[in-house]
Amino acid sequence: MEGLKMGLQVCEKIVDGLPLIVPVAESTSHSIVDRDSFVNKANDVTSQDTAAESCVLSCYRKEQGGWQRRQFPQNNCVVRIGSDICKTDISLKDEPGAAELQMLGRLIGQQWIFIETGRESLCMANGIRRRQAILGPGSSCLITLGHTELIFSTLPATGRNVPTTATSDLKYYRLSMTNCEHFFDFTRPVLLGRNPLCDIKVGTEDFVAVISAVGRKLFLYGLSSNVSVSNQDATGKTLALFHGAQIAVGKTLLTASLPEDCRGQGAFTVVPHSQTPHLCLHEVESRVSLNGKKLILPNSGRAIFVGRSPDNYFALDSKSVSRQHAQLIIYDNSALLIDCESTNGTRINGEKIGRRMAHPGDFIKFGEKEFVLGYAD
């Protein structure tokens, strides 16, 4: 039954310096109702942040009649996706295996971070199996949840300008057609289709494919039945793009040219398939941005301490953090957070807690040090 699993209970007995942990039945479902008051407060704060203007979010969803666009309000800083049609912004009611809250999107500064919260992973980001995706200003991202395809974008409705010359042969790859060529770096996904958001206008549908990079390796995910890579059908598949690969969209051909250091990959490049990712605390700088610092949590079943003392598993350099501030007990995709009678308290989504389950997408605060719980990938 969803929401009930064998959990972990902390006993008074100490073993090897840590509390003994025993299994108990405990609810691990992700409450949507409990989060609403915090979401409203967060919306009030973000609506006053002018930086959010450059990250106004739109979403395109593939339906039987084509791609349907939805524009979120400028002051919106939370997007909830799941099977509960009453408490989510994007419904997955017809998606097998979807949880009531399957994915949570949060605006932090000028970045949207989408984190999968459901126990069972359904998510691919730009055709690669992942449990989270980060969307910066002026960018797009394809998120696939089971059979549901969603394109999120912070681009203006007219799309972005694509360079037709390259300043560095190593920084850019090239997609060439008969009469033109376009250059792209490896940091942002590239959309193909007729929609104004698309970087290359080809085909007859709004979106036909997305190209993204993992490191310096390129991959294409087909969104249309009319796209192939070097004669290999790409419909609903992720295929490697090697040097000289030909992308066919109907009768239009595009040729991929990669920098010299990427040309040895060949067509045999394996599509990444992430293993079970580790939970991770992403540090947040005063709700302004993710600063890139990550605290990667250990495997499920471990218990760790967080505090200012160097003896803790995570030592936090802040006077607002107690020497032994809190304990985390790790589950598969959640963590039990226990405050150790700290001076300045431990909070989840702004609420001071003594002991509570934390789920991906939750804000966790130790004193004045704030994190968002997500994944390390």
Boundaries of every domain in the chain: 55-154, 172-262, 279-375
**Given strand 209-214, what is the order of strands in its sheet?**
200-201, 190-193, 209-214, 217-222, 238-241
Residue 36 has phi, psi (to 5 degrees) of -60, -40
Q: Collapsing DSSP states into helix, strand and coil, what is residue 258?
A: coil
* Cα-based distances in Å from 166 to 192, 239, 313, 334: 20, 25, 46, 45
Q: State which fold the 172-262 domain adopts.
A: Tumour Suppressor Smad4 (2.60.200)
Q: Measured between alpha carbons, how far is 207 from 224 in angstroms, rounded to an integer?
A: 7
Instruction: Return the closest-CA partner of residue 223 out of 104, 306, 363, 127.
Output: 127
Cβ atoms of 208 and 193 within 8 Å: the answer is: yes
Q: Measured between alpha carbons, how far is 144 from 148 in angstroms, rounded to an integer?
A: 6
Question: Based on the number of CB atoms within 10 Å of its own CB, is 259 exposed (0-12), middle (13-18) or buried (19 or more)?
Answer: middle
At 241, list the tokens. 């793009």
- Residue 6's pLDDT is 46
Which pairing describes strands 181-185 and 172-176: parallel, antiparallel, or unpaired? antiparallel
Sign of CA dihedral 314, 316, 321, 324: positive
State if pTM tops 0.75.
yes
- Residue 79's pLDDT is 97
279-375 belongs to which CATH class? mainly beta
Q: Measured between alpha carbons, how far is 182 from 165 in angstroms, rounded to an integer?
A: 7
- Residue 40's pLDDT is 42
Mean pLDDT by 10 residues, the chain (377 residues): 47 48 47 44 42 75 92 92 96 95 94 93 94 91 97 81 61 90 92 95 95 92 94 93 94 92 65 75 78 88 97 96 98 95 97 97 96 91
Q: Collapsing DSSP states into helix, strand and coil, what is residue 80?
A: strand
Q: Could you name the CATH architecture of 55-154?
A: Sandwich (2.60)
Q: What is the DSSP letter of 44?
A: H
- Residue 196's pLDDT is 93
> Half-sphere exposure of residue 297, counting CA atoms within 13 Å on the CB side?
33
Q: Measured between alpha carbons, how far is 14 from 24 in angstroms, rounded to an integer?
A: 18
- Residue 179's pLDDT is 85
Domain 55-154 identical in fold to domain 172-262: yes
- Residue 231's pLDDT is 92
Kind and range of the H or E element at 20? strand 18-27
Kind and range of the H or E element at 86? none
Instruction: Return the closest-CA partner of residue 156 out of 53, 49, 50.
Output: 53
* Cα-based distances in Å from 86 to 65, 82, 166, 181, 182: 24, 10, 48, 46, 44
- Residue 291's pLDDT is 65
* Cα-based distances in Å from 338 to 279, 317, 357: 17, 20, 9
**What are the tens digits of pLDDT across the range 254-263?**
999 998 888 7
Which pairing describes strands 279-285 and 181-185: parallel, antiparallel, or unpaired? unpaired
- Residue 38's pLDDT is 40
Which runs of consecutive H residues, i.e. helices, occur in the chain?
36-46
- Residue 27's pLDDT is 46
